[in-house]
Amino acid sequence: MKPANFAPWYAALYPQFAEITRQHGYALAVHGSMARDFDVVAIPWAAEVSTPREVIDHILREFAVKEIGEPTFKEHGRVAYTLSIGFGDCFADLSFMPIHRGAAA
């Protein structure tokens, strides 16, 4: 039997994170198994979207989370933020796909 993990807790947190990102014009997708941490990707979905920093600041105001380190730049222009949740046993890696203003076909 595998050891217990935080996946149920991450799953319960998803709707609240998704609502905040939606308010800022993003769709939120879970990426990964949620066994070690909570990997989510925010995808620009509306005509007008907030900056990733504005979304992260909103999450920091709403939850007992702390930002860990500096944002890191990933493949294909993604920027990733790591958040420590609760007492530091849980972590969320929130990546944002790049915003392309005026890129509609």
What is the rounded CA–CA span in Å between residue 51 and residue 32?
Answer: 24
pLDDT in tens, 46-99: 999 999 999 999 999 998 899 999 999 999 999 999 999 877 788 999 999 999
Highest-scoring range by mean pLDDT, 2-16, 37-51, 88-102: 37-51
What is the rounded CA–CA span in Å between residue 24 and residue 5?
Answer: 30
What is the rounded CA–CA span in Å between residue 77 and residue 79?
Answer: 7
Domains of the chain, earliest start first = 7-96 (3.30.460.10)
- Model's pTM, two decimal places? 0.89
Q: DSSP letter string over 28-57? A: EEE-S-SSSSEEEEEEE-SSS---HHHHHH
What is the rounded CA–CA span in Å between residue 75 and residue 33?
Answer: 20
